[in-house]
Amino acid sequence: MSSASTSGKQAAPASTRAKPANKAEAAADYLDGRLGIYSLAKANLRKIFPDHWSFMLGEICLYTFIIIILTGVYLTLFFKPSMGEVIYNGSYAPLNGIRVSEAYASTLDISFEVRGGLLIRQIHHWAAIVFVAAMFVHMMRVFFTGAFRKPREINWVFGFLLLFLGFFDGFLGYSLPDDLLSGTGIRFMEGAILAVPLVGTYISFFLFGGQFPGTDIVPRFFTIHVLLIPGIMLGLLVAHLILVFYHKHTQWAGPGKTEKNVVGMPLMPVYMAKAGGFFFLVFGIIAAMSAIASVNPVWAYGPYRPDQVSTDAQPDWYMGFAEGLIRVMPGWEIRAWGHTLNLGVFIPLMLFPLVLAAIAAYPFIEGWITGDKREHHILDRPRNAPVRTGLGAAWISLYLVLLTGGGNDLLATHFHLSLNDITYFVRAGSFIVPVVVFFITKRWCLGLQRRDKEKVLHGRETGVIKRLPHGEFVEVHAQLPQDKLHTLTAHEQYEPLELPAEVDENGVARKVGLITKTRAKISEGMFGEGNQIPKPTAEEHKEITSGHGHH
Amino acid sequence: MSHDMSDDKLPADTAEGHGEVAAADNPFADPGLPAHEVRRTDIDERAAKRAERHVSLLFIVSMLATVGFIASYVSIDPDKIVYIFPLGHISAMNFALGMTLGVALFCIGAGAVHWARTLMSDVEHPAERHPIEADDEVRADVIEQFKTGAGESGFGRRKMIRNTLIGSMALVPLSGVMLLRDLGPLPEKSLDSTAWSEATPAMPIQLINMNTNEPMKAEDIGIGSLTFAMPGPSALRPNGLQESDEDFQQQIAKDALMLIRIQPEDIKDAQSAALGFEGVLAYSKICTHVGCPISLYEQQTHHALCPCHQSTFDLSDGARVIFGPAGHPLPQLKISTDSLGYLVATGDFSHPVGPSFWERSE
Ligand code: FES
């Protein structure tokens, strides 16, 4: 209160606010005066969250990320990111007297000397595996339900970047213990970098601080693994969550649910209890998993030496498709003008991010084809978007085919198959399988759409067989209740785009660009006849139900 | 471009589906939120009490498990290995700590979720959404404000300032890139040669058996067996390559040799036979694909297989690639014997070792 307005009189110190009823209210008042928490909480305390089991996939990602950070901090307290060499002398007898790096020795110490260290290491690694897997599945959920559509395209990109960075941080973390397996992975990386034309050798020398393997790589990777990438990921994650909060959650179609509302339970108390509780469930399960299933037992592999290799050299599963690409690629090499272009490695190296980027770009491509600029908050059932669902399934099948390639040696030894045959299969399969899967999935979706239509128009099968007066047996069909009818017919249907007429209304020839034509073609492929089943109309329904007795 | 084609092809905003008032004659109309269905615990106080006890029980189990965690931490010997079916032999401490921690955490979660599901209200509420996009008035206002600000800055008017600003901003990150230069030395020719390059016919370098650390003779190598070797003493390295050398890892990443002995008449490639000595051939152990060490040899076929991506080389035919992603043969080392009959190298590999790179000329 300025003195001018009270004309010199001493202003009363009290605020107009009622006296707090108890200590907690007093504390809240105190904070409100500094941070404005009441206005913040007003909109959010009872914020509505819709419920569906698949919405917890994102939560798993968030919680495993938190677990990774917690356990990661613990590990940094004991891990020595150094390639200085020491003679190992510790409680793992088989390696006593062997020359190892400090990084490797401290990993052994964490595993055998530090009480609970092995557990934390395992939780860290398991959580990382679950984190990447959950991101994958979460992203599929968002993809197949169309949750990425406006206004959420940007959040899709944030999510994609988190997945991509998660891959790399996983790879870097895997490389830190400096064991035989991780060293082999880094060697692979050196070879891949060397395949980059023009600057490959330079990048390699700057990365390794000279020739492979050098003595800088572990400390460098350590900083990138614990600081740089997690820092970026944390920023992206916060942005991702702010956007989720701001957009509010999507929901499935159903009675009372519209594009303009969100139906569910309030943050406090139900969602708080469920989501908070779920964190402990995830943490608990991962802790128990780490107690019983060992992952990355580095002591069994031994320290890294560039002239040795363990035969089961396999990357973590999420790098498996990159491994597959590199394994099945023919060894093409072009030598000319005193230079070597190693296409056999370089092409897979480029395909790896491209295959991923295709998914990142999808919302924009679909938005361009439909030309739809409206906001979408109601999810699509996958069957109602057959082409999108088919593309997603094709992408997953490509991933699996390449994963097969990445594990060709294991498949060969476990199933007594010829390694070469697997490789030839993967080469051909990478092109054929996704196409086949696409068409099967699309037909399947259309079949399901047809069944929905059937259900809406003729009701659901009751399993009751009735004999008609003239002797025919029929199954009694029961009408669906209105809420089911609504749910099954709530989805939207696009119509294929039509090219503008060749000549406009004044008879002047119109120029239709190639891009426009392509767009119309794709649109026809997505929404044209035979690519979606027209949903039943109210008239059709009335006609059938009002006519002869329904059966 | 998109406007002319698309707008009328979007599905109409389905009024029938989203009206609050269901049209009486439309069977597909939205009937609105269904009535809340009560749960057992909502009406039966005994059921509610039971649920309450279950939740508390879970929290109590969690407390006990945490006590168990602490007890395991202080009482179990970290070296103790136990057999637990079906897991096999595992660390007792890891198992006890992980299980108790897992139970302690899981039970908190299970209790909270059970509480939420049985005792907290499960009435669904609708909340309105508001369009993300601002309305036209706000939009026009902001654009106006921006224009005023931009006009006052003179950014558009003073072209010279604008262009030089853009130029300086574009260039300044280059300093950051330059600072990365000292991350490592320039490659120069270092990838082209190995420690064997010091060898000459006059000053050869002995081949040292990797396992025994001894020099070897041709007859030490059995037909069909694979032997690994590294460089012995030379003018620059009087003791030969030692594991304690600071650059051991770096050297061994390029110098490692794989020795095999083939009946001379089985060697298909005459040039390759000439580089060897009495059927003993010395190839680089480093795969030419991305550099894994090769470790599998099939004596019947003389094929060597890289375990990483299964490139297969025919060692009887100049280590030609016969399968897999490698792009060129394994480099071969020219060997002969010194006056005492020990195997020696008299020069470097036929071409650079390991994965190919842009500057590699051969
Ligand atoms: S490194 Fe040998 S096949 Fe790839």
User: Which of B283, B284, B285, B289 gets mutated to test ligand 1 (max ligand atoms within 8 A of its CB)?
Assistant: B289
Query: Residue type for A35, please?
Result: L
Indicate whether residue B306 lines ligand 1 (CB < 6 A): yes
> Residue range B295-300: average pLDDT?
84
pLDDT digits (tens, 9 = 90+) for A193-229: 999 998 999 999 999 999 988 889 999 999 999 999 9
- Identify the residue with better confidence: A493 or A439: A439
Q: What is the pLDDT of residue B258?
A: 92
Angstrom distance (rounded) from CA A451 to CA A441: 15
> Residue range B315-330: average pLDDT?
91
Least CA distance to B305: which residue of chain A?
A311
pLDDT digits (tens, 9 = 90+) for A423-480: 888 999 999 999 999 999 999 999 999 999 888 888 888 888 888 888 888 888 888 8
> Residue range B58-84: average pLDDT?
94
Angstrom distance (rounded) from CA B91 to CA B77: 9
Q: What is the pLDDT of residue B6?
A: 53
- Shortest distance, CA A537 to any CA of chain B (angstroms): 8
A256 touches chain B (CB under 8 A): yes
3 state DSSP class of B298: strand
Q: Residue A290 half-sphere exposure, CB side, CA atoms within 13 Å?
A: 32
| Mean per-residue pLDDT over chain B, rounded | 88
Q: What is the pLDDT of residue A547?
A: 56
Least CA distance to B194: which residue of chain A?
A211
Spacing, Cα A417 to ligand 1 middle (Å)? 20
Task: Give backbone dihedrals phi and psi of A451, rounded to 5 degrees, phi first.
Answer: -65, -40
With a CB-CB cutoff of 8 Å, which residues 356-395 of chain A face chain B? 368, 370-372, 374-375, 377
Give the residue among A77, A88, A90, A86 at the shortest CA–CA distance from A116: A77
Residue A493: its chain B contacts at CB < 8 A?
11
Angstrom distance (rounded) from CA B181 to CA B183: 5
Strands (E), chain B: 81-84, 88-91, 125-128, 205-209, 226-231, 257-261, 280-284, 296-298, 303-305, 312-314, 320-323, 332-337, 343-349
Least CA distance to A198: which residue of chain B?
B358
Which atom from ligand 1 is nearest to the alpha carbon of A188? Answer: 1
Q: What is the largest CA-CA distance in chain B?
A: 108
Indicate whether residue B309 lines ligand 1 (CB < 6 A): yes
Residue with token string 């559509």: A149
A489 touches chain B (CB under 8 A): yes
Q: What is the pLDDT of residue B13?
A: 59
Q: What is the pLDDT of residue A4?
A: 47
Spacing, Cα B338 to ligand 1 middle (Å)? 34
* Region at A210 (left for phi over 0; alpha for psi -120 to 50; beta for the rest): left
Task: Give backbone dihedrals phi and psi of A528, rounded to 5 degrees, phi first.
Answer: -75, 180
Give the residue among A480, A483, A498 at the shortest CA–CA distance from A545: A480
Is a pLDDT exceeding 50 seen at residue B3? no
Polymer length of chain B: 362
Spacing, Cα A171 to ligand 1 middle (Å)? 19
Give the residue among A205, A498, A506 at the shortest CA–CA distance from A371: A498
Indicate whether residue B217 lines ligand 1 (CB < 6 A): no
Residue with token string 């152990």: B285
Q: What DSSP line would sit under A384-449, residue for residue?
A: GSHHHHHHHHHHHHHHHHHHHHHTHHHHHHHHT--HHHHHHHHHHHHHHHHHHHHHHHHHHHHHHH
Which tokens is A298 given?
A: 């580095």
Q: Which of A270-279, A523-532, B115-124, B273-282 bottoms out in mean pLDDT, i.e. has the lowest?
A: A523-532
Is a pLDDT exceeding 60 seen at residue B19? no
Indicate whether residue B326 lines ligand 1 (CB < 6 A): yes
User: Which of B286, B311, B312, B330 gets mutated to test ligand 1 (max ligand atoms within 8 A of its CB)?
Assistant: B311
Long-range CB pairs of A295-299 (<8 Å, 24+ gap) are: A295/A122, A295/A125, A295/A126, A295/A129, A296/A125, A296/A174, A296/A177, A296/A181, A298/A104, A298/A107, A298/A108, A298/A111, A298/A177, A298/A179, A298/A181, A298/A182, A299/A92, A299/A94, A299/A95, A299/A108, A299/A111, A299/A112
What confidence category does residue A127 fall into, taking pLDDT thresholds of 50, 70 and 90? very high
A291 vs B98, B116, B122: nearest CB: B98
Angstrom distance (rounded) from CA A123 to CA B134: 46
pLDDT digits (tens, 9 = 90+) for B105-131: 999 999 999 999 999 988 888 988 888
pLDDT digits (tens, 9 = 90+) for A319-355: 888 888 888 888 888 888 888 888 889 988 888 888 8
A205 vs B102, B184, B311: nearest CB: B184
Q: What is the pLDDT of residue B20?
A: 45
B260 close to B276: Cβ distance less than 8 angstroms? no
Query: Residue type for B127, please?
Result: A
Which tokens is A451 given?
A: 């069944």
A515 touches chain B (CB under 8 A): yes
> Residue range A368-388: average pLDDT?
91
- Shortest distance, CA A192 to any CA of chain B (angstroms): 7
CB contact under 8 A, B361 and A339: yes
A318 close to A327: Cβ distance less than 8 angstroms? no
Indicate whether residue B289 lines ligand 1 (CB < 6 A): yes
Q: What is the pLDDT of residue B5?
A: 56
Residue B186: its chain A contacts at CB < 8 A?
202, 205
Residue B295: its chain A contacts at CB < 8 A?
308-309, 311
The 3 state secondary structure assigned to A317-361 is HHHHHHHHHHHHCCCCCEEECCEEECHHHHHHHHHHHHHHHHHHH
Indicate whether residue B330 lines ligand 1 (CB < 6 A): no
Angstrom distance (rounded) from CA B176 to CA A384: 50
- Identify the residue with better confidence: B23 or A495: A495
Q: Suggest the residue from A112, A259, A280, A417 to mutate for an interface test with chain B (most B CBs closer than 10 A).
A: A280
Residue B228: its chain A contacts at CB < 8 A?
307
Q: What is the pLDDT of residue A550?
A: 46
Is a pLDDT exceeding 80 seen at residue B14? no
Angstrom distance (rounded) from CA A343 to CA A330: 9
Residue A365: its chain B contacts at CB < 8 A?
none
Distance of CA A218 to the CA centre of its chain: 28
B275 close to B325: Cβ distance less than 8 angstroms? no
- Shortest distance, CA A15 to any CA of chain B (angstroms): 33
- Shortest distance, CA B153 to any CA of chain A (angstroms): 31
> Residue range B29-44: average pLDDT?
88
- Shortest distance, CA B252 to any CA of chain A (angstroms): 6
What confidence category does residue B163 fall into, taking pLDDT thresholds of 50, 70 and 90? very high
pLDDT digits (tens, 9 = 90+) for A1-35: 444 444 455 655 666 778 888 899 999 999 998 99
Residue A200: its chain B contacts at CB < 8 A?
357-358
pLDDT digits (tens, 9 = 90+) for A47-96: 888 888 888 999 999 999 999 999 999 999 999 999 998 999 988 989 99
Work out the burial of residue A268: count CB atoms within 10 Å of its CB; fewer than 13 is exposed, 13-18 middle, 19 or more buried: middle
Residue B125: its chain A contacts at CB < 8 A?
46, 48, 263-266
With a CB-CB cutoff of 8 Å, which residues 88-147 of chain A face chain B? 91, 99, 112-113, 115-116, 118-119, 122-123
Spacing, Cα A300 to ligand 1 middle (Å)? 22
B205-209 vs B125-128, strand pairing mode: unpaired
B183 vs A188, A209, A246: nearest CB: A209
| Mean per-residue pLDDT over chain A, rounded | 88
CB contact under 8 A, A326 and B325: yes
A457 close to A394: Cβ distance less than 8 angstroms? no
Which tokens is A484 given?
A: 């089911």
Angstrom distance (rounded) from CA B255 to CA B285: 8
Is a pLDDT exceeding 80 seen at residue B357? yes
B217 close to B341: Cβ distance less than 8 angstroms? yes
**H or E stretch at A206:** helix A200-208
> Distances in Å between the alpha carbon of B314 and those of A438, A536, B223, B256?
41, 66, 16, 18
